[in-house]
Chains A and B, each alone.
Chain A
Amino acid sequence: MRSFEYAKPSSVKSVLSLLGRSFEQAKVLAGGVDLLGEMKEGIISPKRVVNLKGVKDLYRLDFSEKDGLTLGALVTLTQIESHPTIIARYRALAEGAHSVATPQIRNMSTIGGNLCQRPRCWYYRHHDINCLKKGGRLCFAYNGENKYHAILGGGPCYIVHPSDCAPPLIAFDSSVTLASPRGERSLSLEDFFVLPSQRMDHETVLEPDEIVTFIKVPAPPKGTGSAYVKIREKQSFDFALVGCAAVVRMEGGVCRQARIVLAGVAPIPWRSREAEEVLEGKAITEEIAEKAGQAAVAKAEPLAQNAYKIPMTVAAVKRAILRAAGQT
């Protein structure tokens, strides 16, 4: 790790004044779980690290029927997974947060950091490999070891997005508030993430001098059920091979609205409108849930070692839907 300048301001405004015009100039520190790993491994060497933890506003966690759930960027995953209202009303989010890493890591991890974390791709994370994402000319995963890589939305880089919280948040129709010296902007969380074909140096729309401040999640209407299913190689702690967040609104035994968002299969949290369409207007049965899973992978383009993610995704989608609909 290279030496760096460190600042711990106490307002969003002063945070923004300390950020630079490029990611190399300054990085934002929240839980540090991902950032410090990247710095210690020599993947990034920012000149300045700006600690958000002095900004009191960003610890906000509240809920009202009218405004829904508001999560400040510094709310920890432990807070999310153990919050009674989140468990009762946003089960998929509580389950997503709970499925992350270990209790120690969840105590440190913030929701803002979880959304902004960088990919786990082993080529990207290797200090002696200059891959496409790091400005090199080649995605080594394409012809190399790619069992953990993307089957949807890949190319020219085949990372998968590692967040287990983003899929449930998108499934609950969340929006995200960003702050920069140019002011605040708010956008749907779904639009916050961008594919490598659109942007290579980052996985979100964030500018180098911009930060996530709040995530807003509307109150789920009556009849809403949700679930997050995570399939991982190692049960003790691991990133998802495949994850699926399902949020369904049922009315008179029929699915009125469905949101299906996948983890671990694409460079961004992958919303599957194809799967949603299968469900809408139908009673939820195992057969329909399986069909939705099939629809989710209909356009999959696996690499040499990751076609197994296709049947695995079908299983994850099916199980998430059935649990969301209260059928298992």
Chain B
Amino acid sequence: MAATQVRGQRIPRLDAPAKVTGRAKYTYDVDQTSDPRLKGMLYGAILRSRLPRARIRRIDTSKAEKMPGVRAVMSLVGEGAEVQYAGEALAAVAAETWEQAKDALSAIEVEYEPLPFEVDTDRAYEKGLRSSPRVERRGRGEDGFDEADVVVEATYRTPVQIHTPLETHGSVVVWTGPSQVVVYDSTQVLFSVRDSLARELNLPPENVQVICEYMGGGFGSKLWMQHYTPIAARLSRKAGAPVKLMLSREEDFLATGNNPDAVQTIRIGAKKDGTFVAFSRRSYGTGGVGGGADLPAPVYRFPHLYLEHVDVTTNAGPAAPLRAPKWPQAAFGVDSAIDELAAKLGMDPVELRIKNDPSEIRRKEWQIGAERIGWKEKWRPWGSHKGVLRRGLGCGASAWGGGGGPGSVAEVEIFRDGSVVVRLGTQDIGTGTKTVVGIAAADGLGLTPEFLRSDQFRVYIGDTRLGRSGGSGGSTTAASVYPAVYDAADKALARLKEFVAKKLGVPADRLVSQGGRIFDKQNPTKGLTWGEATRLLPTEAISQRGEWRPGMTGSGVAGCQFAEVEVDTETGIVRVVKVVAVHDCGAVINRLTAESQVIGGVTQGISFALLEGRLMDWQTGLMINADLENYKLAGAFEVPEIDVVLLDMPERGVIGLGEPPIIPTAAAIANAVANALGVRVRELPITPDKVLKALGKVPS
């Protein structure tokens, strides 16, 4: 990397003006005013099962077909098919207005034969609706507990969480030729949507163009082509008109993925001095009609380990990865149990963690975090807090991969007038990828932050017509795209340098581009400004492609968080006072958006700790809080002071940061609540009813 860089500075998002002024068009916004090809656009809607499990005896769309404005109707299930959860797609329509489409849905006649169902994880487990146990053993497994002086055991519960992206899922499809289709999709993975849809429609992939310039979040639930995209494409082909099919909030809740719940019984054994000896966890959870409720192993050092997991099947929509999938619930279990052990040993929980933490980076982070939250001054043992309002401190750990890899093809073009265009078919899921792409190009070319913000610098992403790139999942985007763009920029600069070298009479390898000038590193006064240099180009523009280079990225991040809470012991209300979040992500590319990732992760972690949770009614098998009133998400008043400490470690290269900051938040908050109260709430969300119950104030 060049000596002076844009990397590591605070660069406002390149698309911030477009977003705050509303010029940015999300999938939900596109219509013929943003794309004339969408003239005559129809509205698609999907009829979904009203029952949690049923056989479809009859499905009759004939009335719907005759409704005003209806242009296409299709059944998605055959007669005799069995539906497995409420919200499963049964039929779809396209009509001239959204209201007509909804009316047409209610004219589709479905005769259900109700079948027995189960939506409750515990009951399903007891009924045997479960997989055989998956076991992982290290050292002597559970036998290792015989080496322990002290053992703690407890059961921890976390609910099913829903992704709730601000922009609901959906696609807008237009056929631009008999075998050419353009799809606007709110997606985390442009090229996989393109390839999957091409397969479904039996088209060559290059005949499918997928566009997602702006998107309102996905958190893992938009990481592959979902059902509505091919439905919209088929409706569109049938109707001979573009179709917009955006899901409602309720459909998002029911049918686009969820984060499985977990019931974990954890045992930890340790020596008297606090050295961890053995860990065991028996867990089960439901990914609805899919699986995937398994949990990762703890990040601490345990010579003996036993993990056993069972997936439970219930009549609810299938699971999907949600921001650091399953790590927050695992951390909640492990870090809660460690605090219970610390209390039993009479040890300071931070010291106990440092003693058993194999990560050198995280051991340093524990110390930084403890200092920033004022641990030494403020922390008092469990049960020593008195009064109506009680404060407490707690902490938790995170770990993540976040490495990148090959698969991106970036293009950097330098024009004779000095302007620079960068192109890459990645997507910005709200993390600031467009800005990262820009910073990589600016760094490769030796340009300044001011240039980055000028009209002369343009970045294009979010379109499969651009160079191929991977999905945005697993916090891999930054470490995948930065090297590819940097490589393209570096190669383009090398070509520009040839012309400058000839002009200055200096060998090209002695030229340096920095701060908007290209100069002789042996004689820095001898040089050209960027504009003077580009005017030397013999053609209108030069262009170079770049690919991921090894050596610019790393993998494996640590991280820890500390929370201070205040609990009202009369009302049970928990207020998070402050969170200190200490994270590393190798080389910090953009301090501003990196901090924003941490703030977002902590906020979502607070929401998981205190508010969120899907509620299925056992009587009807229906989700009764599939709305943002009763499925509660943290709002402005739930977000406390968040002190973000980012370790910049350029020597480790670029590493992703999107997911790790959500991992330790709930654990830290739960531990802080337990510290404040002297009693522990072992089930998320930590709502007032559970706090009052833990305090023994609820009559039984």
Interface on A for B, CB 8 Å cutoff? 1-3, 120, 122-123, 125-126, 128-129, 140, 143-145, 147, 231, 233-239, 241, 302, 305-308, 310-312, 314-316, 318
16 contacts between A and B (CB under 8 A): A120-B630, A123-B624, A129-B622, A129-B624, A145-B624, A234-B611, A234-B635, A236-B638, A237-B635, A238-B632, A305-B689, A310-B699, A312-B570, A312-B571, A315-B570, A316-B571
B356 close to chain A: CB less than 8 A: no
Return chain A residues, CB-CB under 8 Å to B630.
120, 122
B636 touches A311 (CB 8 A): no
Q: Which residue of A lies closest to B568 (CB)?
A: A315
Return chain B residues, CB-CB under 8 Å to A144.
617-619, 624
B34 close to chain A: CB less than 8 A: no
Inter-chain CA distance A61–B619, complex, in Å, is 47
Which of A122, A129, A238 neighbours the largest number of chain B CB atoms within 10 Å of its CB?
A122
A308 touches B572 (CB 8 A): yes
**Chain A interface SS verdict (over half):** loop
Q: Find B693's partner among A238, A308, A314, A315 (CB 8 Å cutoff).
A: A308
Inter-chain CA distance A231–B573, complex, in Å, is 8
Return chain A residues, CB-CB under 8 Å to B570.
311-312, 314-315, 318
Mask: chain B, 606-639; 1 = CB below 8 Å from A; 0 = not: 0000010001011110101101011010111110
Shortest distance between the CB of A101 and any CB in chain B (Å): 10
A122 touches B688 (CB 8 A): no
A236 touches B635 (CB 8 A): yes
Return chain A residues, CB-CB under 8 Å to B572.
308, 312
Given A120-B629, A144-B617, A237-B635, are A308 and B692 neighbors across the interface (CB < 8 Å)? yes
Q: Which residue of B lies closest to A302 (CB)?
A: B699
B629 touches A307 (CB 8 A): no
B652 close to chain A: CB less than 8 A: no
Shortest distance between the CB of A156 and any CB in chain B (Å): 16
Known: A3-B99, A233-B688, A311-B698. 14 other contacts (CB 8 A): A122-B624, A123-B617, A125-B627, A126-B622, A129-B624, A143-B619, A144-B617, A241-B688, A308-B688, A308-B689, A308-B692, A311-B697, A314-B570, A318-B570
8 nearest A-B pairs in the assembled complex, by CB-CB distance: A236-B635, A315-B570, A308-B689, A235-B637, A122-B624, A311-B697, A236-B637, A308-B692
B196 close to chain A: CB less than 8 A: no
Return chain B residues, CB-CB under 8 Å to A314.
570
Inter-chain CA distance A235–B698, complex, in Å, is 22
Q: Find B635's partner among A3, A147, A235, A316 (CB 8 Å cutoff).
A: A235
Q: Find A128's partner among B611, B622, B699 (CB 8 Å cutoff).
A: B622
Inter-chain CA distance A308–B700, complex, in Å, is 9
Inter-chain CA distance A129–B622, complex, in Å, is 9
Q: Find B638's partner among A126, A145, A235 (CB 8 Å cutoff).
A: A235
Return chain B residues, CB-CB under 8 Å to A125.
627
Which of B103, B571, B693 neighbours the largest number of chain A CB atoms within 10 Å of its CB?
B571
A126 touches B688 (CB 8 A): no
Return chain A residues, CB-CB under 8 Å to B618.
144
Shortest distance between the CB of A127 and any CB in chain B (Å): 9
Return chain A residues, CB-CB under 8 Å to B637.
234-236
Interface on B for A, CB 8 Å cutoff? 50, 86, 99, 102-103, 570-573, 575, 611, 615, 617-620, 622, 624-625, 627, 629-630, 632, 634-638, 687-689, 692-693, 697-700
A140 touches B688 (CB 8 A): no
Inter-chain CA distance A126–B615, complex, in Å, is 13
Return chain A residues, CB-CB under 8 Å to B698.
307-308, 310-311
A234 touches B638 (CB 8 A): yes
B634 touches A236 (CB 8 A): yes
Return chain A residues, CB-CB under 8 Å to B571.
231, 312, 315-316
Inter-chain CA distance A227–B636, complex, in Å, is 25
Inter-chain CA distance A204–B102, complex, in Å, is 32
Inter-chain CA distance A241–B572, complex, in Å, is 11
Shortest distance between the CB of A310 and any CB in chain B (Å): 6
Shortest distance between the CB of B236 and any CB in chain A (Å): 25
Return chain B residues, CB-CB under 8 Å to A3.
99
Q: Which residue of B lies closest to A231 (CB)?
A: B571
Shortest distance between the CB of A306 and any CB in chain B (Å): 8
Inter-chain CA distance A237–B692, complex, in Å, is 21
Which of B103, B636, B689 neighbours the largest number of chain A CB atoms within 10 Å of its CB?
B689
Q: Which residue of A lies closest to B99 (CB)?
A: A1
Shortest distance between the CB of A231 and any CB in chain B (Å): 5
Q: Which residue of B lies closest to A1 (CB)?
A: B99
Return chain A residues, CB-CB under 8 Å to B687.
233
B638 touches A147 (CB 8 A): no
Q: Which residue of A lies closest to B573 (CB)?
A: A231
Return chain B residues, CB-CB under 8 Å to A318.
570
Inter-chain CA distance A306–B103, complex, in Å, is 39
Inter-chain CA distance A102–B699, complex, in Å, is 34
Given A140-B617, A311-B698, are A233 and B611 neighbors across the interface (CB < 8 Å)? yes
Shortest distance between the CB of B191 and any CB in chain A (Å): 37
Shortest distance between the CB of A179 and any CB in chain B (Å): 32
Return chain B residues, CB-CB under 8 Å to A316.
571
Return chain B residues, CB-CB under 8 Å to A308.
572, 688-689, 692-693, 697-698
Inter-chain CA distance A311–B695, complex, in Å, is 11
Inter-chain CA distance A306–B692, complex, in Å, is 11
Inter-chain CA distance A308–B693, complex, in Å, is 7
Inter-chain CA distance A123–B618, complex, in Å, is 12
Return chain A residues, CB-CB under 8 Å to B50.
128
Q: Which residue of B lies closest to A300 (CB)?
A: B699
B624 touches A231 (CB 8 A): no
B636 touches A236 (CB 8 A): yes
Inter-chain CA distance A308–B637, complex, in Å, is 23
Shortest distance between the CB of A64 and any CB in chain B (Å): 37
Q: Which residue of A lies closest to B629 (CB)?
A: A120
Q: Which residue of B lies closest to A148 (CB)?
A: B630
Return chain B residues, CB-CB under 8 Å to A239.
629
A140 touches B697 (CB 8 A): no
Return chain A residues, CB-CB under 8 Å to B634.
234, 236
Shortest distance between the CB of A290 and any CB in chain B (Å): 10
Return chain A residues, CB-CB under 8 Å to B625.
122
Q: Find A307's partner among B99, B620, B635, B699 (CB 8 Å cutoff).
A: B699
Shortest distance between the CB of A2 and any CB in chain B (Å): 8
Return chain A residues, CB-CB under 8 Å to B635.
234-237
Inter-chain CA distance A154–B550, complex, in Å, is 68
Return chain A residues, CB-CB under 8 Å to B697.
308, 311
Return chain B residues, CB-CB under 8 Å to A126.
622, 624
Inter-chain CA distance A306–B635, complex, in Å, is 24
Q: Which residue of A lies closest to B618 (CB)?
A: A144
Shortest distance between the CB of A193 and any CB in chain B (Å): 22
Q: Which residue of A lies closest to B696 (CB)?
A: A311
Shortest distance between the CB of B64 and any CB in chain A (Å): 15
Q: Which residue of B lies closest to A312 (CB)?
A: B571
Return chain A residues, CB-CB under 8 Å to B688.
231, 233, 241, 308, 312
Inter-chain CA distance A239–B688, complex, in Å, is 14
Q: Which residue of A lies closest to B623 (CB)?
A: A126
Inter-chain CA distance A9–B422, complex, in Å, is 59
Shortest distance between the CB of B443 and any CB in chain A (Å): 40
Q: Which residue of B lies closest to A307 (CB)?
A: B698
Shortest distance between the CB of A289 and any CB in chain B (Å): 12
Return chain A residues, CB-CB under 8 Å to B102.
1
Return chain A residues, CB-CB under 8 Å to B86.
128
Inter-chain CA distance A225–B625, complex, in Å, is 39
Q: Find A234's partner among B103, B622, B632 (CB 8 Å cutoff).
A: B632
